[in-house]
Amino acid sequence: MVMQKGTKILPAEGKLGVLLPGLGAVATTVIAGVEAVRRGLGNPKKKPIGSLTQMGRIRLGKRTENRNPYIRDFVPLSQLEDIVFGGWDIFPDNAYEAAAHAGVLSREDLGELRPHLEAVRPMPGVFDPSYVKKLNGTFVKQGASKRQLAEQLMVDIANFKRDNELARCVAVWCASTEVYQQPSACHASLDAFEKGLDENDEHIAPSAIYAYACLKSGVPYANGAPNLSLDFPAMIELAKRQSLPICGKDFKTGQTLMKTVLAPTLKARCLGLEGWYSTNILGNRDGEVLDDPESFKTKEMSKLGALEYILQPHLYPDLYEHFHHVVRINYYPPRGDNKEGWDNIDIFGWLGYPMQIKIDFLCRDSILAAPIVLDLALFMDLAQRAGMSGIQEWLSFYFKTPMTAPSLYPEHDLFIQLMKLKNTLRYLRGEELITHLGAEYYD
Ligand SMILES: NC(=O)c1ccc[n+]([C@@H]2O[C@H](COP(=O)([O-])OP(=O)(O)OC[C@H]3O[C@@H](n4cnc5c(N)ncnc54)[C@H](O)[C@@H]3O)[C@@H](O)[C@H]2O)c1
């Protein structure tokens, strides 16, 4: 990441296009939510709750100084009024139809926003059913090669920018989780990737074609799902070459959010862990896609990583050497988007005496994810205007499997992630970093 203390940040002038591959539950909830907030809708609860950029403050200087501006007043972010949403899907439903199908927001809320949402129509997607086995897309691009598909996406982006008179664009992947794959030869360098596009290399996923097309078009890219679309050398090389920020992967919303709060607590108190069993019931389309073992594997790998990195069993063998970690997701249609995530945590304390913690999080997946999409769009745009390129580790706060520089392990502890994010903002504005070193700095 390239940045300087007190960096010159270009102003957030003009309109910002937010491109969302995948106009499903998460994407339509953020589009509807931003419009609801813009209009006020006469209800004090219709606020961008959960969004750090809109609701969060940042402490500056010493505690005695009482300087706690809103983040949105501290760094120059685009205004919600200046955001224009667009996107792609493999079904032709407009954002109103897709939101009604997803069933996240009430009919009453959707009714008030209907004309606005109906005007958001997807562009046809790039799709390959071998990457998402449970869906049979009908609204898809045709092309003789993956290169041609990428070029069609680039034309879409250019048209979207021109038609909406946008100053800048950012993209956040909100489409279905693709099957699990490890990087292969075509991911190793940009040359190899482009050759793979020409030769229709089977290892290039549709999601990677979107990422490539966005970066080639000068659009920063965030990956909200765990699939392999951005996190490999070819794409990192392209981002650097284009001087663009990238980040991923897999929004940290419910169960993993709680895990990355609780696991650091156990470690902080040197309490041992015998096992952590996490299970979910979920009935939305995401749940249906994840019912396929290969898509689930991608999600499972993403969800499993956090504990190992936080607890560091190699450094704390007495406490964490042999813990069992199990993650399950069960597709259960009656629940729709209202996921229930259970955690049973078997811990041990003084002289090895066992204890248990139970968490039952009755959450709403897209209600938790929507503010993350908004924050990522605004922060990625800020990063670009501040000249920050490559992997944006300071945005790890938002991800289950944060992307890092190749030699670094990811930081999963939510509060370290938050400190890193806020210190990055302080640094950008030339403010003192808060390190918690001395009592006078304690937050
Ligand atoms: N909601 C959460 O809490 C959360 C957390 C982490 C990650 N995610 C991820 O975010 C993504 C979106 O979740 P969701 O609940 O909105 O799912 P969803 O199934 O409601 O929406 C996904 C949309 O993507 C479309 N799609 C699939 N492949 C596509 C392609 N190649 N191009 C364009 N569109 C495509 C589908 O038709 C669908 O409309 C999923 O990958 C999910 O795993 C969600």
Q: What is the pLDDT of residues 343-357, one digit of tens each?
A: 999 999 999 999 999
Residue 139: how many CB atoms within 10 A of its CB?
15
- pLDDT at residue number 349: 98
Find out whether 173 and 225 touch, Cβ atoms under 8 Å: yes
Q: Whose alpha carbon is nearest atom 3 of ligand 1? A: 365
Q: Whose alpha carbon is nearest atom 25 of ligand 1? A: 22
Q: Phi and psi for 291 in degrees, rounded to 5? A: -70, -20
Task: Please tell me the distance from the alpha carbon of residue 118 to that of residue 103, in angstroms, as a whole number.
Answer: 16
Q: What is the pLDDT of residues 304-351, one digit of tens each?
A: 788 989 999 999 999 999 999 999 889 999 888 888 999 999 999 999
- If one compares 44 and 423, the residue with the highest pLDDT of the two is 423
Tokens of 195: 């050759």
What's the gap in Å between 285 CA and the centre of ligand 1?
8
Which residue in the block uniquely carries the two structure tokens 């993403």?
A: 302
| For range 223-243, the mean pLDDT | 96
- pLDDT at residue number 303: 72
Domains of the chain are: 15-251+366-428 (3.40.50.720), 255-362 (3.30.360.10)
Whole-number average pLDDT of the chain: 93
**Residue 249, preceding peptide bond in cis (omega within 30° of 0):** yes
Reduced to 3 states (helix: H, G, I; strand: E, B; else coil), residue 223 is strand
Looking from the CA of residue 177, the nearest atom of ligand 1 is 41
Task: Please tell me the distance from the alpha carbon of residue 382 to that of residue 384, in angstroms, as a whole number.
Answer: 5
Find out whether 226 and 250 touch, Cβ atoms under 8 Å: yes
Q: Which of 198, 214, 197 is nearest to 160 (CA)?
A: 214
Q: Whose alpha carbon is nearest atom 17 of ligand 1? A: 286
pTM of the predicted protein model: 0.94
Q: In the predicted model, is pLDDT for residue 441 greater than 50?
A: no
DSSP character for 79?
P
Q: What is the pLDDT of residues 170-197, one digit of tens each?
A: 999 999 999 899 999 999 999 999 999 9
Task: Please tell me the distance from the alpha carbon of residue 252 to that of residue 414, in angstroms, as a whole number.
Answer: 10
| For range 278-291, the mean pLDDT | 84
Find out whether 207 and 187 touch, Cβ atoms under 8 Å: no
Res. 437 pLDDT band, cuts 50 70 90: low
- pLDDT at residue number 440: 46
Res. 41 pLDDT band, cuts 50 70 90: low
Of the candidate ranges 30-44, 101-115, 159-173, the one whose mean pLDDT is the lowest: 30-44
Q: In the predicted model, is pLDDT for residue 443 greater than 60?
A: no
| For range 92-97, the mean pLDDT | 98
Residues within a 6 A CB radius of ligand 1: 21-26, 88-91, 102, 125-127, 132, 135, 174-177, 206, 224-225, 250-251, 253-254, 284-286, 289, 365-366, 368-369
Looking from the CA of residue 21, the nearest atom of ligand 1 is 33
Q: In the predicted model, is pLDDT for residue 42 greater than 90?
A: no
Q: In the predicted model, is pLDDT for residue 439 greater than 60?
A: no
Tokens of 253: 């919303």
Q: In the predicted model, is pLDDT for residue 10 greater than 70?
A: yes
Q: What is the pLDDT of residues 148-158, one digit of tens each?
A: 999 999 999 99
